[in-house]
């Protein structure tokens, strides 16, 4: 895989230092400017504060770039025409010399190619509500790419029971860090029991080491609840999501435009409280991933 790896990231990898990959669709499709740039840079700062190296990954004029600069992150945050790229989209965007932001799936693929073993994100994709055949490529990538992903579970807008079933089929270990139930992005507890549970960081590191020793070729999911002070009420968020899903169906929004549409409407329907929760969980996940990366090297 041909990659443009930033000098500071390459140096960290060459010296065996901890590196945490960050995806870019949260910048281009998840949050609006200037919130997107502020949280992207804050996540990088949190990773550095915990003793690891951030590597925000995107495509710049057809070149896969591992370790975007602050200026490139800001340009991504202000642009309105950057392609959203999973694994399937990379050949077209690269050959056309375009800019592209990477989903969790795309970031996992590139991170593995660069030798990065840890990724922090908000929430993974999954099975869409009312559309059981609309399954995020994130789940399939977790089944075949050995990168650890730290997240606040799957996005609340999804069909969470079916999402867990697909992860099981893909052979992906799903571990709750400090929670026995699946976190649901804005909500700390979905009520769905997880197959794995660890009480603290030390136990999570033991699981990560065991997973790496197996060398089974699949990813692992470490789920961390949104900080309690920023978590939303389950009933409130369910009502907002139901309304957003109805609007999406009425407007025939589907494919890779569905998740950005739903996330934006949920923020609007909750009076901005969903945005505050999103920012809090993104920062918390970055910090957690950095600690895990540093202590499990």
Residues in the chain: 297
The answer, yes or no, to whether residue 27 has pLDDT greater than 80, is yes
Contacts for 89 with CB less than 8 Å, ≥ 6 apart: 83, 100, 106
Q: How confident is the model at residue 254 (pLDDT cuts 50, 70, 90)?
A: confident
The answer, yes or no, to whether residue 256 has pLDDT greater than 80, is no
Q: Could you give the residue numbers annotated as active site?
A: 23, 155
The answer, yes or no, to whether residue 202 has pLDDT greater than 90, is yes
Secondary-structure percent of the chain, ordered helix, strand, coil, rounded to 5: 50, 20, 30
**β-sheet bridge partners, residue 85:** 102
Quote the pLDDT of residue 284: 98
Q: Is 188 helix (H, G, I), strand (E, B) or coil?
A: coil
**β-sheet bridge partners, residue 106:** none
Tokens 């603290």 belong to: 200
**What φ, ψ does residue 116 adopt, rounded to 5°?**
-95, 130
Q: How confident is the model at residue 271 (pLDDT cuts 50, 70, 90)?
A: confident
Contacts for 30 with CB less than 8 Å, ≥ 6 apart: 36, 122, 260, 263, 278
Where b means 16+ CB within 10 Å and e means fewer, 182-202 reads bbbbbbbbbebebebbbeeee
The answer, yes or no, to whether residue 133 has pLDDT greater than 90, is no
Regarding predicted confidence, which is higher, 242 or 10?
10
Q: How confident is the model at residue 18 (pLDDT cuts 50, 70, 90)?
A: very high
What average pLDDT does the structure give for the chain?
Answer: 94
Regarding predicted confidence, which is higher, 218 or 271?
218
Regarding predicted confidence, which is higher, 229 or 270?
229
Quote the pLDDT of residue 190: 93
Tokens 């200026």 belong to: 71
Which of 244, 270, 238 minimizes the C-alpha distance to 258? 244
How many CB atoms lie under 10 A from the CB of residue 174? 21
Quote the pLDDT of residue 233: 85
Domains, the chain:
4-295 (3.40.1790.10)
Cis before 34 (ω within 30): yes
Share of the chain above pLDDT 70, in %: 100
Predicted TM-score of the model (pTM): 0.93
Quote the pLDDT of residue 47: 98
**Which two three-digit tokens encode residue 257?**
């435009």
């Amino acid at each position: 895989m041909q990659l443009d790896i930033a000098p500071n990231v390459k140096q960290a990898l060459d010296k065996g230092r901890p590196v945490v990959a960050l995806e870019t669709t949260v910048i281009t499709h998840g949050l609006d400017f200037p919130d997107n740039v502020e949280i992207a840079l804050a996540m990088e700062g949190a990773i550095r504060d915990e003793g690891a190296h951030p590597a925000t990954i995107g495509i710049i004029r057809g070149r896969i770039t591992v370790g975007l600069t602050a200026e490139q992150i800001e340009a991504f945050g202000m642009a309105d025409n950057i392609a959203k790229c999973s694994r399937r989209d990379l050949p077209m965007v690269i050959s056309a010399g375009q800019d592209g932001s990477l989903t969790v799936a795309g970031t996992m693929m590139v991170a593995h190619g660069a030798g990065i073993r840890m990724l922090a994100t908000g929430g993974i994709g999954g099975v869409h509500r009312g559309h059981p055949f609309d399954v995020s490529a994130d789940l399939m990538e977790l089944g075949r790419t050995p990168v650890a992903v730290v997240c606040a579970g799957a996005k609340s807008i999804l069909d969470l029971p079916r999402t867990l079933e697909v992860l099981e089929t893909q052979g992906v270990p799903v571990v709750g860090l400090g929670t026995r139930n699946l976190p649901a992005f804005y909500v700390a507890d979905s009520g769905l029991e997880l197959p794995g549970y660890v009480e603290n960081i030390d136990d999570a590191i033991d699981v990560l080491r065991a997973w790496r020793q197996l060398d089974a070729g699949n990813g692992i999911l470490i789920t961390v609840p949104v900080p309690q002070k920023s978590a939303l009420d389950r009933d409130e968020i369910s009502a907002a999501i139901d309304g957003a899903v109805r609007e999406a169906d009425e407007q025939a929004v589907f494919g890779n435009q569905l998740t950005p549409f739903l996330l934006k409407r949920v923020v609007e329907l909750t009076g901005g409280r969903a945005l505050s929760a999103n920012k809090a969980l993104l920062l918390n996940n970055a910090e957690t991933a950095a600690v895990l990366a540093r202590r499990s090297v």
